[in-house]
Amino acid sequence: MKAFTTNTNQLKRNLPLLGVASLALLSSCNSKQANVEKPLNIVYIMTDDHTQQMMSCYDTRFMETPNLDRIANDGVRFTNSFVANSLSGPSRACMLTGKHSNANKFFDNTTCVFDTAQQTYPKLLQQAGYQTALIGKWHLESIPSGFDYWEIVPGQGDYYNPTFIQQNLERVDKDGYITNLITDEAIDWMSNKRDPEKPFCILIHHKATHRNWMADTTHLALYEDMTFPMPENFYDSYEGRVAAASQEMSISKDMDLVYDLKMLYPNSNTTLTPYYKSFIGRMNKEQRAAWDKHYDPIIKEFDKAKLKGKELDNWKYQRYMRDYMKTLKSLDENVGRVLDYLEENNMLDNTLVVYTSDQGFYMGEHGWFDKRFMYEESMRTPLVMRLPKGYNKRGEINQMVQNIDYAPTFLELAGVEVPQDIHGVSLLPLLKGEEPKEWREGLYYHFYEYPAEHMVKRHFGVRTDQYKLIHFYDDVDVWELYDLKSDQSEMNNIYGKKGYEAVTADLKEKLTNLQVQYNDSIRHRFN
Ligand code: SGN
Ligand code: CA
């Protein structure tokens, strides 16, 4: 397994880019926000791999997320919220630029470095007089630009006693659990480090709930008495779906007993891979003692049970669910801390609070963990917002929205003109309670990271309210079509089936139009 690190040398190589950012800052204060009577703040909280199934305001089957739900209950919940490319770095690049991957050029996690010279919404806000900050996971490899203040974790970051990279490029190890530390830093910046005279935009980017789901010592004991029914399609045969059949993200086959499921046999060297040592080794004595106290009896029981086949699959699934939920519980509590802070400081009325994730995730559907596919569980992402005074919409927003829409929304909210080249559309009319007559009919999606970890083939496609058309390409040339009304789990590929000729032709036309609109190259002929 690969340990991700943002290399300091690479950061230093990119130093000149900081000069560009500083110049932009110096020339900033011509301030289009003079047009805005009362500049509004933006608190943007984004998690990693948190999926709608695991958020009680979306799905009540699994766990309570009272603080995340608080945002939805006081504000709005987007019932049809999607990403453009279901992978961390690409998703983040889409959000920052408001553009699809082909335009922002951050196609995948493995080969790309984000070109920070390009236009992003934090830069535009900064130029308009906003104070901007970024805390937590960045994952775009270059030095953050467009932020007055930043503190990031290298690569994916570590759950325990993580290293942070500060603006002077120093690496600092902090004691504690990452979700608490990122929140501490965010609250500290809002309280003590920003210019209180200026409106602000802070991006709080969590590592949770990313693999390998290591809970805080304080949360290890949670959910152990709960068991969950396995999803109906856990034993999917992948019939008629070539790419689904060849992935490597199966709970049964690809989840690692030690790394993912924490079955680290005491006193055994055989299972101690250097990679595992590198993160379990970050714990201090007390943390390790609490960890072992929790897991040792589970390991012993597991060792004795000698589970096989479906029993073993079920055991893996239960452990996966519980560990994921434990890390999510910390996250929910920390979002509560941010909301409390804003409330106690009377900031809620003039602040837009956004909660989302970099993509959705599989919780055993199709037998999987991870994301990447254009299928519903991973193309969807949670999106709830608490709105500032004057924005009167409450409850559900059902229009299809995508993470490229965040940038224009925040810019318009701040009174900054939205540049023409942005692909997304502002959600502000929806937040005001308007029902725009014309809204997008189809969402465009394009995933590129192949061959790579989890082996999900390259694909692009279009999703409408009722249908999804996907084209897998590169080392295959196959199409899939789903009727989302009758086949929500996307098990039945109806591409090429009799009766769907007109639907298919219409979707292909929509797909072509979207590729033209976004200037994405059409890689294959459509017939
Ligand atoms: C790591 C994980 C993968 C995950 C990618 C991308 N492996 O490589 O399971 O798909 O991150 O995730 S691990 O062994 O390092 O945990 S992303 O959310 O950052 O795109
Ligand atoms: Ca992610």
518 CA to centre of ligand 2 in angstroms:
24
DSSP state string for 275-330? HHHHHHTTS-HHHHHHHHHHHHHHHHHHHHH---HHHHHHHHHHHHHHHHHHHHHH
Helix runs in 159-284, H state only: 178-188, 242-245, 251-254, 274-280
In ligand 1, the atom with minimum distance to the C-alpha of 249 is 9
Query: Where exactly does CATH 3.40.720.10 map onto the chain?
Result: 38-213+327-381+391-434
Query: What is the C-alpha end-to-end distance of the chain, expressed in Å?
Result: 39
Mutate to test the pocket of ligand 1, among 1, 86, 109 (most ligand atoms within 8 A of CB): 109
Is ligand 1 within 6 A of the CB of residue 370? Answer: yes
pLDDT 10s digit of each residue in the chain, 527 long? 233 333 333 333 232 222 223 323 323 333 333 333 569 999 999 999 999 999 999 999 999 999 999 999 999 999 999 999 999 999 999 999 999 999 999 999 999 999 999 999 999 999 999 999 999 999 999 999 999 999 999 999 999 999 999 999 999 999 999 999 999 999 999 999 999 999 999 999 999 999 999 999 999 999 999 999 999 999 999 999 999 999 999 999 999 998 899 987 655 554 555 666 667 889 999 999 999 999 999 999 999 999 999 999 999 999 999 999 999 999 999 999 999 999 999 999 999 999 999 999 999 999 999 999 999 999 999 999 999 999 999 999 999 999 999 999 999 999 999 999 999 999 999 999 999 999 999 999 999 999 999 999 999 999 999 999 999 999 999 999 999 999 999 999 999 999 999 999 999 999 999 999 999 976 544 43
| pLDDT at residue number 273 | 58
Measuring CA to CA, how many Å separate 83 from each of 88, 156, 233, 423, 503?
Answer: 10, 20, 23, 13, 24
Is ligand 1 within 6 A of the CB of residue 333? Answer: no
Which amino acid belongs to residue 287? Q
Token reading at 381: 């992402």
User: Atom 5 (ligand 1): residue with closest C-alpha?
Assistant: 453
The CATH number of domain 38-213+327-381+391-434 is 3.40.50.300: no
349 CA to centre of ligand 1 in angstroms:
37
Q: Assess contact for 460 and 444: CB atoms under 8 A.
A: yes
Q: Cα separation of 459 and 470, whole Å?
A: 7
Q: Assess contact for 228 and 321: CB atoms under 8 A.
A: yes
Q: Assess contact for 478 and 472: CB atoms under 8 A.
A: yes
Which residues have CB less than 5 Å away from ligand 2 (the ion)? Answer: 48-49, 88, 358
Is ligand 1 within 6 A of the CB of residue 87? Answer: yes
| pLDDT at residue number 499 | 98
User: Atom 19 (ligand 1): residue with closest C-alpha?
Assistant: 88
Environment class of 341 (CB within 10 Å of its CB; exposed 0-12, middle 13-18, buried 19+):
middle
Is ligand 1 within 6 A of the CB of residue 326? Answer: no
Please tell me the number of the ligand nearest to residue 275's CA: 1
In ligand 1, the atom with minimum distance to the C-alpha of 454 is 10
Is ligand 1 within 6 A of the CB of residue 214? Answer: no
Q: The sheet that has 478-483: what strands, in order across it?
A: 443-447, 459-463, 467-472, 478-483
Torsion sign across C-alpha atoms 391, 466, 88, 277: positive
Is ligand 1 within 6 A of the CB of residue 148? Answer: no
Please tell me the number of the ligand nearest to residue 153's CA: 1
| pLDDT at residue number 524 | 47
Is ligand 1 within 6 A of the CB of residue 372? Answer: no
| pLDDT at residue number 165 | 98
499 CA to centre of ligand 1 in angstroms:
40
Is ligand 1 within 6 A of the CB of residue 206? Answer: no
User: Atom 12 (ligand 1): residue with closest C-alpha?
Assistant: 88
Coil, strand or helix: which one is 479? strand
| pLDDT at residue number 78 | 99
Is ligand 1 within 6 A of the CB of residue 158? Answer: no
Please tell me the number of the ligand nearest to residue 211's CA: 1
144 CA to centre of ligand 1 in angstroms:
21
User: Atom 10 (ligand 1): residue with closest C-alpha?
Assistant: 370
Please tell me the number of the ligand nearest to residue 381's CA: 2
36 CA to centre of ligand 2 in angstroms:
35
